[in-house]
Amino acid sequence: MISEQIAALHSQLPAGVTLVAVSKYHPVAALLQAYEAGQRVFGESHVQELVAKQALMPADVQWHFIGHLQTNKVKYIAPFVSLIHAVDSLRLLREIDKQAGRCGRRIDCLLELHLAQEETKYGFTPDELTALLDSDEWATLPHVRIRGLMTMATYTDDTEQIRREFRTAHDLYQHARDHVAAASHWDMLSMGMSHDYPVAIEEGATLVRIGTSIFGQRQY
């Protein structure tokens, strides 16, 4: 039951950890069940699907975009999105800034860190992240606010490997905080999915992105 899963997660998560209910590929009826159980933060990873659901769901939902975002699609979500988790290039950040400006908004963003040992995943390597933060251009963009980092661990049963990756993300998050604090807010670390969120919380996550454990298997 969706409502029971939401209630269980809300009672289980420590204070300071936000549950992002990842509702991609699930119908609006399922999202409404979660909403009625008190869930307000939803994560989607496809622009068209997000736009369609946003029009049907109550206005006080906070929509997080958690997938790979194409530059030419930013304009469709800029009017309402509350957090973009996976910014993976300066070019994308500039486009978010431009579209947010057109809407008279400032959009919160996280930088995606690539740590997993999988070629297909997007994101900055630790060196690229440091170079980006050193370059200071990000701090001059008036309509975006970088709040922290997002990462995905390698998909594996090896809990120690997952823990090492989350720990590395947390170390980088802490180091960057000193660098960024003067210019921005830096208070969000998004990591942990259905199979690895307990480890992510132990390693300092402030947002967990949970889909399958709430809604069941996705309908493709």
Contact set with ligand PLP (CB under 6 A): 22, 24, 45, 66-67, 152, 193-195, 209-213
- Dmax over CA atoms of the chain, in Å, equals 48
Instruction: Name the region of 123 (left: φ>0; alpha: ψ -120 to 50; beta: rest).
Output: left
In the complex with ligand PLP, the residue whose CB is nearer, 34 or 141, is: 34
The nearest distance, CB 19 to ligand PLP, in angstroms, is 11
C-alpha to C-alpha distance for 203 and 161, rounded to whole angstroms: 13
Minimum gap (Å) between residue 123 Cβ and ligand PLP: 11
CB 207 within 8 A of CB 190: yes
Residue pair 96/84 in contact (Cβ under 8 Å)? The answer is yes
- Please identify, using beta-carbon distances, which residue of 88 and 95 lies nearer to ligand PLP: 88
The minimum distance between CB 43 and ligand PLP, in angstroms, equals 7
Which residue, 156, 151, 167, 155, is CA-closest to 199? 167
Q: Measure the N-to-C terminal CA separation of the chain; round to a whole number of Å.
A: 20
Minimum gap (Å) between residue 213 Cβ and ligand PLP: 6
Instruction: Pick the closer one to ligand PLP by CB: 133 or 152.
Output: 152
Give whichever of 157 and 178 is closer to ligand PLP, judged by the CB atom: 157
Check: CB of residue 34 under 8 Å from CB of residue 10: no
Neighbours of 67 (CB within 10 A): 18
The residue nearest ligand PLP at its CB is 211
Q: Which CB sits closer to ligand PLP, 22 or 34?
A: 22
Output the smallest distance, CB 4 to ligand PLP, in A. 17
SS3 159: helix
